[in-house]
Amino acid sequence: MKKIAILAAFPLHLLKGFGKAFQPKGHYATWLPQVAEAWDGQEEVEIHWIVMSELVKERRYVCEWGQMFHVLPTSQSGRSATLFREDRKAIHAVLSEIQPDLVHGWGTEDVYGLAAVLSGRPNIVSMQGILSYYALKNRMPARTYLQAVLELFILWKAGRVTTESKWGRNVVLRRNPFAKVDLVEYGVQQVFFQIKWQPEEKTPFALFVGGISPRKGIQDLVESFRDPKLAGRELVVIGGGEGAWSENLQKSAPPNIRWLGRKSAEGTAEYMSKAWCLVLPTRADTSPNVVKEARVVGIPVITTRNGGQASYVQDGEDGYFVECGDIKGLVQKLRIVLGSLATTEQLGKVSQNKYRDLLTADQTANHFKGLYWKILSDKAL
């Protein structure tokens, strides 16, 4: 039987024997547990996950959904400065034990993509954020700039690369024109398929979900909701932010903006079920899941063309595009959507069924499984 090793920041709190102490504080890759669960019962390949955690002191094993999870200890700081030397050493030791036929590294934000391309084995790297692009659009922590440089190396070394969107594929190909790039949609959590859209009629509100940072364009929304034309309308913000920029933005915001902080998927879904639209004036995003969630729920989206989310919006049909920094244009589109429930309902229904079919965990799992077999078959030739 062929063996696959997946290197990823799997959310450990969802595995037996770990619990809430292992739940990530912020956003995590919600699509990973969906894919693992969708593979439950498959018998074509042997699947191993390798996960680093600063909360374990020694290697731990757990079998879930017919797959083996290897959880390895790591430190909290100083890892990237050494190019993840100790982490890579630990991961490669486990790979030597497993002897996988294919290594799949998730993301360039941590050690996983780097360890995959340096494994000496056939490999895939799946992009999450594209750091080398984000670093051009927003001030980032020093560690992120180092990761962005490593990302360029990873994209040249990877045997194959996957992205969620055409936008992401184009960015990858600008960094390595010879890269073999596949598009794989990451599915939406089941809770967004289950909720029913029942918009709040008394006080119409737009919903923003994401980090409170300049890259996400939240500053455009704060300025927009100062406009008297949006009197009687609200903006609800779900997401966290750190540092003086985020604090000053929230303190200076008008009273018709509600800052709710981070929410669980269930909490986010509850607000999405009542919102009149999702609004995301981002400067750069590979393929933000929140836009996919909105399309599954059936609410219109106002966003920019600067990211993979543009693939899920047809301007004037199921949402609107705006330019970054165009406050007047943003106010105009918000007035259209927040001014008429009938218009909102009409926009939200367009292509909803298509996205409900496309953005499932089974689709993601099957696409990756097909890609695995293609690579393994090519290797056997």
pTM of the shown model: 0.90
What would the pLDDT profile of 95-107 be if each residue is shown by its tens digit? Answer: 999 999 999 999 9
Domain count along the chain: 2
37 and 172 belong to one structural domain = yes
pLDDT of residue 151: 95
Tell me the H-state helices in the chain. Answer: 31-38, 85-98, 112-117, 131-137, 142-157, 166-175, 190-194, 218-224, 244-252, 265-272, 289-297, 327-339, 341-349, 352-358, 361-380
Show the domain range for 135. 2-187+360-376
Note whether residue 381 is domain-resident: no
The residue-averaged pLDDT of 37-52 equals 94
Domain CATH for 95: 3.40.50.2000
The residue-averaged pLDDT of 13-19 equals 89
Note whether residue 10 is domain-resident: yes
36-40, 118-122, 130-134: segment of lowest average pLDDT: 130-134
pLDDT of residue 114: 97
Q: Are strands 102-106 and 60-64 parallel, antiparallel or unpaired?
A: unpaired
204 and 179 belong to one structural domain = no
Note whether residue 208 is domain-resident: yes
197 and 307 belong to one structural domain = yes
349 and 248 belong to one structural domain = yes
157 and 21 belong to one structural domain = yes
215 and 140 belong to one structural domain = no
178 and 292 belong to one structural domain = no
Note whether residue 77 is domain-resident: yes
59 and 37 belong to one structural domain = yes
Residue 381: band (very low, low, confident or very high) from pLDDT cuts 50, 70, 90? very low
What would the pLDDT profile of 217-226 be if each residue is shown by its tens digit? Answer: 999 999 999 9
Would you say the C-alpha torsion 119, 120, 126, 132 has a positive or negative sign? Answer: positive
What would the pLDDT profile of 123-175 be if each residue is shown by its tens digit? Answer: 999 998 898 888 887 777 778 888 999 999 999 999 999 999 999 999 999 99
8 and 32 belong to one structural domain = yes
Residue 8: band (very low, low, confident or very high) from pLDDT cuts 50, 70, 90? very high
47 and 103 belong to one structural domain = yes
